[in-house]
Amino acid sequence: MPEEKRRWGTLDPFYEPGPVLGRKVANVRFLDGLLRADPFDEYCFFLGDQGLAEALRSHLAKAAPALLDAGRIRILDRRELPDALARERFRCFHLSDCIVSQPALARLRNRYAPEIFPITGIIHSLSYAGYAEPFLRQLWPGATARDAIVCTSAAGQGAVERFLAWLREGYGLDERAFPGPRLARIPLAVDAEAMTPGEGRPDGGPVRLLVFGRLSHHSKMDLLPLLRALHRLVSDGLDPASVELVLAGWSDENGDYLPMIEGLARNAGIPLTVRTRPTEAEKAALFRAADVFVSIADNPQETFGITLAEAGAFGLPAVVSDYDGYRDIVVHGETGLLVPTIGPAATPDADLLAPLLFDNQYHLLLAQRTAVEVPALAEALGALIRSPELRRSMGAAARRRVLDHFSWSGVIRQYLDLWDGLWRAPADPASLRALNHPQSMPYGRLFGHYASRVLDPSCVVRTGRTGEAFYRNRDFPSLYAGLGWTIRPEAARKLAFLARKPVDSGTLMRKLTELEPLLDEAMAENHVLWALKHDILELVK
């Protein structure tokens, strides 16, 4: 008997065209890292959008052409998922965001899959006002010990833990009855081997401080404290010509934020270069030409901080806020310097307003209450600006740390260990099969009264005129695209044959499931109703 294939599945493309965002970068690099390691026999993408499917195929033709040509990557219609789960065995499913569809996928798996395979989904930004509902969906009895939310940082894991505890408290949910997925911690990573440190400048010019990311006061970090800290250093005797500030990344080109920053830099006499929306090649050149990486995140949207790992891969020491996932990446005094922050314990006014505001509005409210300590920031910057030796030693240590902890090869190994470990957790398929999710709409129950009557086991049917021609191969009813998993023409043909004499629908469905073992009761009912719709069967009055 041939060995069962090891299949990896997902509902997401991981590759998304369009503007460069941290989430998109992290997802596509995970995908490329997974396919480069190639630990599975097949990679199955069940996508709901044809445009995304074509974009993914185009990306894979460049990133993994051998796997694509060998048929080991399958891009499938999401409507085929129930049939695929019933017929094929999957080692795991991994989702590019735990927010969107993890509980719905778990319910489908519980219903159709022979084995309860692990389902994992990763976190990104967690601070959006509408996220209470998707996290509440995670708390249902059908979440098993083989399901996990992958947290990219200790701070992110703490936030998810608090999220779930807050929801259980608010809705009176007992943790034993509503366990939710387990939480695992695996960081994001970078292609560290492809990022080589710069050689430095032979002219010994000014020390370049690089800020790379979203240049936005409401989205990632407010740069005003950085300008205040540099002004403090100049006031204390630092030669402004000895330093250059470089701001690079995504920016709203029509906003007034960057002009304000440029004005403050001029007032302080600090040379400033702004590079908006650089290409990947330009980005690498900026990192290789820099001396110190600076990021003073103050916004709860930030969870990990992938640019810090990139900076370390390029051999840059970092001056960063002691905030969120940054403290997982930067080792204070060894690979860079963490600057203390202080924030609120409660935010009652923002809590009330956030559901009524745009994301950027309430994130700005929250970020302006998180202070990066300016004197400490100035001290940290001054220490690295004044000491080439400290910059070199910290930069070398930062690169070693990234190679050891934040390379994709190592991170993919952590995912494989996680999926293998989840398989060892107990799971009882029989107790999960009929379990409904309380937030999954029961359409028949809600809208069944729209029809004149509902199909019940006592309804008597017989073969219709089209059905007589159908089972004799003289007619071929049309099957719309997307119905292939729920309606099987051969099963419908058997219905027409079985109902040559009037028969109650309960008996008919039982006989059909005996002939078609892969059809359950609900799918048999689908076939009877579809056959009535297409004149294969007709009701006996």
Pairwise CA distance, residues 119 & 16, whole Å: 21
User: How far apart (Å, rounded) are the C-alpha atoms in residues 104 and 140?
Assistant: 11
**pLDDT exceeds cutoff 70 at 335:** yes
CA distances from 498 to 254, 464, 466 (A): 69, 12, 14
pLDDT in tens, 342-380: 999 999 999 999 999 999 999 999 999 999 999 999 999
What tokens does 330 get? 């930067």
State how far the Cα of 467 lies from the Cα of 497, in Å rounded to an integer: 8
What tokens appear for 512 in the block? Answer: 């059909």
**Is the per-residue pLDDT at 71 higher than 80?**
yes
Average pLDDT for residues 316-337, to the nearest whole number?
Answer: 97
pLDDT exceeding 70 applies to what percent of the chain?
A: 98
Integer Rg of the chain from CA: 29
Q: What are the C-alpha distances in Å from 175 to residues 169, 216, 217, 255, 464?
A: 10, 39, 38, 46, 53
State the pLDDT at residue 4: 80
Domains observed in the chain:
7-189+414-426 (3.40.50), 209-406 (3.40.50.2000), 443-539 (no CATH)
Q: Distance between CA 292 and CA 280 in Å, rounded?
A: 19
d(CA 192, CA 324): 22
Closest Cα partner for 221 from 310, 124, 132, 326?
326
Instruction: Give the pTM.
Output: 0.92
**Sign for the pseudo-dihedral over CA of 527, 528, 534, 535:** positive
CB-facing half-sphere around the CA of 106: CA atoms within 13 A: 30
pLDDT digits (tens, 9 = 90+) for 93-105: 999 999 999 999 9
Tell whether the model's pLDDT for residue 328 goes beyond 50. yes
Strand partners, 319: 294, 337
pLDDT of 1: 36
How many angstroms separate the CA atoms of 233 and 242, rounded?
11
Tokens for 321, please give them.
Answer: 């806020």
